Amino acid sequence: MFFKKKIEKKEYDKSTKKPVIKASICTGEQVAGFKDISTGVFEDVMLIKTPEDLAIFKEMYDIKEEIEKIY
């Protein structure tokens, strides 16, 4: 209640995967995850409902750069 829960730091293979947000054209639903650079396969990690969710995702994986949106 008084203390913010610590976010668990996780890692991903930066040489084979890149962070992306997959957005639905119809519903606007957004899912953050990683896209395999060689195969193009998307691996979802978490649902993004608010800008705070996106900030948590970026902090969790220590992502500093802007995340690409795919449809």
Alpha-helix residue ranges (DSSP H) falling in the chain: 51-60
Residue 1 reports pLDDT greater than 60: no
pTM: 0.83
Residue-range domain boundaries for the chain: 17-65
CA pseudo-torsion sign 45, 51, 56, 58? positive
Q: What is the pLDDT of residues 8-67, one digit of tens each?
A: 788 999 999 999 999 999 999 999 999 999 999 999 999 999 999 999 999 999 999 999
pLDDT value, residue 8 = 79
What local confidence, expressed as pLDDT, does residue 62 receive? 93
Place of tokens 């947000």: 21
Nearest to 30, CA basis, from 46, 12, 7, 17: 46
CA distance 50 to 10: 21
Question: What is the model's pLDDT at position 15?
Answer: 93
